[in-house]
């Protein structure tokens, strides 16, 4: 689906849908120009498709038009919906099992969490921000319990955005680090 979005953004998707128009027996100059322009666009689309696929896929590379390449790719990967569903299930499990590690900073943990969320979204998952915020709050280490209680009591979690949560957690993390006495080497 990402390649389709890319080609649509470059206004090249119609080339794949419609293909190169055939010229009649007595084409006009305007018709010849249209076909020449479409053929040039077709070459650009083929280039995009070739860059996106593994070079070992010889059965796809020998196609003459971008439309034929796209159709060949669709046939080559028919189980993509089933595979995406299985990947999404694995990603959901990964997300559910995420917890902050003791030595991890807030930024590191949020990075791992958002990476997991982004992978899920790229596989078609629709995830509301409040689910991510709630997941982060319930999976922080025990040293953040008082902070979590404070955030939950002072905010409407359905309206709390991730940047506000991050900022609040970073402030508390910094205060906890400042309050710990410096370790001295003897």
- The phi, psi pair for 140, rounded to 5°, reads -75, 160
Cα atoms in the Cβ-side hemisphere of radius 13 Å centred on 17: 7
Instruction: Return the structure tokens found at 63.
Output: 């196609």
Same domain? 70 vs 145? no
CA of residue 22 relative to chain centroid, distance: 38
Same domain? 120 vs 74? no
Structural domains in the chain (count): 2
Q: Report how many helices (DSSP H) and strands (DSSP E) the chain contains, helices first.
A: 10, 0
Same domain? 119 vs 72? no
pLDDT digits (tens, 9 = 90+) for 115-148: 999 989 887 888 899 999 999 999 999 999 999 9
Considering 78, 103, 118, which residue would you say is the last residue of a domain? 78
pTM: predicted TM-score of the whole model, two decimal places:
0.56
Say which DSSP state 143 is in: G
Highest mean pLDDT among 32-36, 71-75, 107-111: 107-111
Check if the beta carbon of residue 107 is closer than 8 Å to that of residue 170. Answer: yes
- The whole domain housing 128 covers 81-179
Same domain? 145 vs 86? yes
Question: Can you give the pLDDT at residue 186?
Answer: 47
Check if the beta carbon of residue 137 is closer than 8 Å to that of residue 164. Answer: no
Helix 162-179, helix 129-138: angle, nearest 10: 20
* Residue 77: pLDDT over 80: no
For residue 67, being part of any structural domain is answered with yes
Same domain? 95 vs 154? yes
User: How far is Cα 138 from Cα 136, in angstroms, rounded to an integer?
Assistant: 6
Check if the beta carbon of residue 73 is closer than 8 Å to that of residue 49. Answer: yes
Check if the beta carbon of residue 27 is closer than 8 Å to that of residue 12. Answer: no
């Amino acid at each position: 689906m990402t390649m389709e979005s890319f080609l649509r953004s470059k206004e090249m998707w119609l080339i794949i849908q419609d293909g190169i128009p055939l010229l009649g027996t007595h084409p006009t100059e305007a018709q010849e120009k249209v076909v020449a322009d479409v053929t040039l666009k077709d070459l650009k689309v083929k280039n995009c498709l070739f860059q996106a696929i593994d070079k070992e896929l010889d059965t796809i590379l020998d196609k003459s038009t971008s439309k034929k390449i796209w159709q060949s790719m669709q046939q080559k990967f028919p189980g993509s919906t089933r595979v995406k569903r299985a990947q999404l299930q694995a990603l959901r499990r990964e997300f559910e099992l995420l917890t902050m590690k003791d030595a991890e900073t807030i930024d590191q943990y949020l990075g791992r969490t958002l990476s997991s969320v982004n992978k899920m979204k790229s596989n078609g998952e629709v995830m509301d921000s409040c689910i991510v915020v709630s997941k982060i709050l319930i999976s922080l280490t025990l040293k953040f319990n008082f902070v979590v209680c404070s955030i939950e009591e002072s905010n409407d979690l359905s309206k709390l955005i991730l940047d506000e949560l991050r900022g609040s957690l970073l402030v508390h993390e910094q205060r906890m680090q400042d309050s710990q006495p410096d370790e001295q080497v003897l």
